Structure 1
Amino acid sequence: MTPDLATLPPFLQTLAGYGLQGWAIARAWLTSPAAWSQFALLAAAFLLALLFTRKLRPLLSAWLTPEPGKRGLLATLRRFALIFVPLLLPVLAFAFTAIGEQATRALFGSGAVIAFGKRVFLFLAARILVREIVTDGFLKVLGRFILLPIMALYALGFLDASIARLNEMTIALGNIEFTAMSVIRGLIAGSILFWIGRWSNDQTGSYINAQNEMPPATRQLATKAAEIAIFGAAFLVLMNIMGIPLTSLAVLGGAIGVGLGFGLQKIASNYISGVILLLEGQATVGDYVELDSGQAGTIVKTTARAMILETFDGKWVVVPNEDFITTRVVNYSDQGSANRYEVPFSVSYETDINIVPDIIEKAVATHPAILDKPFPPDCEWRGFGESGIDFAVEFWVNGIDDGKNKYSSDVGFLIWNALKAHNIKIPYPRRVVELRKADD
């Protein structure tokens, strides 16, 4: 007895209709000799594939596994092929079923059951792909919530009907209408395209940064240009897939231009400043800089909008690119140029000051980081102080006198030890206090 579906809501009527249709197909298969023959063929194909897999999988795994430490092109290709060994069972079952399908259609003139079995084997292959082969988190989510439902609909034979239904559903956005299928297609294609774009950008950036013969600023500029080109191309391809004409983006471009003119001036200024900095190469990763505000640190990262400074106490400071263009910035590194420092000290008035410069210069020159060029250590007289004679030693080093480098501290120890070795006294403040009576 067929139930009365007219009393059900439209959505339930549709589901019930699909259920009745499936039951009719299943009942026809269960009562058909041809269907039973195809079921037997499917079972035989699966068992044969299982037998072959048990024999071939260890051999394939051993052959495709390269020797430890090998990094050639052939070794890379073998490692890549090794990832797909778990697909051997469903692929072999699909292949054996396809061979048997030709014989079944020739004998019985029908192959609906065996075609259903082939689709099930493809679904199993997709499931193994998502669960065992794909390791990227984003692709796993994409496979679990998009690929597997699609393959399930395909295996059950509902994919074409679902696509037709989605093509009939429209979504209005102002004067623009989209079909539900175009939105889903855009989400799927956009996810895949921008994942490929991210992967391509990472690979391109790694390759460009490995070119040590290129100046650092040029490498960064090339990396940014490659990033813009990759994601720009991905965006254009996505627009084409969704069927959106590029001429319709003119209005969006005008709106963005107005937004830049009013609310996004600083953002646009920072982006343009970033390009200028990359072109000029005045400040790049690894440079130690001091801003006009007094903030100082090493540039550890450059972005399109800002520079990231790391101070010697471990803090990260985000500095807009515009500040490097419009304000005074002192670059102490300049890609490895030397810097000059000085350490002041004093000696007693009882000292023969003529011997002090030679003693101190020789002592400071023993430090392994002190440079002879552009100038060797230079000890200079600075003045007659209240408690002693003031000197200062100037020296040049490659680096900054902070963080891991304690040049001034090391030089101070060298001065102390040298003065002590030559019995030269270091003065300390002295005060003479006279006490007088009121009647004096």
Structure 2
Amino acid sequence: MGGPGPPYEGSPVSHPTAEDEVVDLCRELIRFDTSNYGDGSGPGERGAAEWTAEKLAEVGLEVTVVEPQPGRTSVVARIAGEDPARDALLVHGHLDVVPADADDWSVDPFAGEVRDGCVWGRGAVDMKDMDAMVLAVVRQRLREGRRPPRDVVLAFLADEEAGGVHGAHWLVDHRPDLFEGCTESISEVGGFSETIGGRRTYLVQTAQKGIAWLRLVAEGTAGHGSMVQRDNAVTELAAAVARIGAYEWPVRMTPTVQRFLEEMSDLLGVPLDLEAPDALVARLGAIGRITGATVRNTANPSVLQAGYKTNVVPQVATAQVDGRFLPGYEEEFLATIDELLGPRVRREFVHRDDAVETTFDGDLVDRMVAALGAEDPEALVVPYCLSGGTDDKSFAQLGVRGFGFAPLRLPADLDFTAMFHGVDERVPVDALRFGVRVLDRFLGTC
């Protein structure tokens, strides 16, 4: 797939700027219900993907649309840069969202409503806001004939919310040619501001915990519920689940987490004990939800299944556990889980992904810091580790160095971390406009 040919030659008719267009693009994306239930039963991403492809084609880009399963659709395009000899930058986002129950919301989660200075809806922060910002910036730059310094590959992906099996993972395994030359990337859950100690602090994601979604299986003897049943699968499973849920995971300090905590210690004037960082984490406010989970491995039981009638002891009982391990600590994590399970319960993977980590240095990082500083001179920019995961895990298999950089300048009183997968998800309009200004600066120097 080549670039778009000569710079886009639009009509002399006036076009909206990226700042003008980003809100409407975000609203339109939200109106596509791309709920991902993780079991193949959702509507898929095709509608949103086709719409995205049209928006890219309108400004002269050649677009590749990939659909490994019916409805599970991704879009990839390449913008030819000024220096084709340089490595390419990958800018990726996902089009799917987690489900939303409209009865729980103040607004229709798929209406893209603007209220109180915010765009509301499922995906407003995870991550149709970033998708819209990228589209808005790219469309304006190509209309004006402004090339990036190097090739930029755009990827709008399916299935991230279920591990990327039909999205990023599939593309890496079957269409790596689409990402030829890419060595660095930017994507979600980074570049947003948190006000910490009275200072606007922008968190760039440079590390992610690995994923170990586990199914636990206990087998026993089926029988009548009125009789003594010492070989009871439910009892064995329940005991194992309780041990996992109650286990106090030890502190494990990775380079990214240590640097983040050191920066926060200096900012807040609070001493840092690397062996007991929880006191400092407690001072971080809402962002402590994420960063507090990155000082140790975690495992949360989430699903229990057994039996079909009160007076029948089942032969099999199962549970599911959401396990997350820090970079470098997968073996320790799994060994601990096996010890907690005991000899009568076995585990199997529902889904597994690597932990990833890169350093907070280099030219690309300098460009991020400069772009944020140009729009917010008071910005403090620090790296952090994400407790969850993104499609960076897939692209790391191609040697791509990934960063979370979806820039948003947020009000100090907005509990932004609660927006991810939460009820009444929303993003401030001003934050979207700030984001396109930062991204435009960044892509102009990347």
* TM beyond 0.5: no
Higher relative strand content: 2
Higher RCO (Cα < 8 Å, 6 or more apart): 2
TM-score normalised by structure 2 residue count: 0.22
Q: Which has the larger radius of gyration?
A: 1
